[in-house]
Homo-oligomer: A and B are copies of this chain.
C-alpha cells in the first residue's frame, strides 16, 4: 500500500492529479492510514495507469469513468468499448481536419509575408480583408 506520492510516481501522474481523481470519485484510494493518508494498492495503481493512458488518448474524465466501469465489469461486451472508441475516433478525425486546414492557412500566410521592416503584411490583411462589408 503506497502513499499518494509513491502512487503518483508509480503511475506517472502528478500527485495533485491523483488527489483530484480521488475527489471526483474516478479512482478512490483503497483506504486511509491511521494518520489519514490515502493508501493505494495494486488495483488502484492499475486503474490510475489505465486512466492516464485513456486521458492521453483524450478520453474525457466521464468517458474514463465509463471505460473503467466496463473494465471492471467481467460481463461487459466489447461492443460498448468499441462504440465509445469509434465515437472518439470520429471526433479526433474532425479535429485533425480542422487543424490541418488551420495549419495550411497559417503556413500560406506566413509564406506570403516577407517578414521585414515593411509595414504591409498579408497576415493582417487577411484577417482584416473582406470583413463586415466595409469596402466591398
Interface residues of A (CB under 8 A from B): 10-11, 42, 45-46, 48-50, 53-54, 56-58, 67, 70-71, 74-79, 81-83, 85-86, 88-89, 92-93, 95-96, 99-100, 102-103, 105-107, 109-110, 113-121, 123-124, 126-128, 131-134
Contacts and interface: CB of A to CB of B under 8 A. Distances in A.
B78 A119 contact: yes
B46 A132 contact: yes
B127 A67 contact: yes
19 contacts: A42-B132, A45-B131, A46-B132, A48-B132, A53-B126, A54-B127, A56-B102, A67-B127, A77-B116, A77-B117, A78-B114, A78-B116, A78-B117, A78-B119, A79-B115, A81-B113, A81-B115, A89-B103, A95-B99
A54 B53 CA distance: 33
How many copies of this kind of chain does the complex include? Answer: 2
Nearest to A53: B127
Contacts of A78: 113-121, 123-124
Contact of A134 (B46, B128, B133): B46
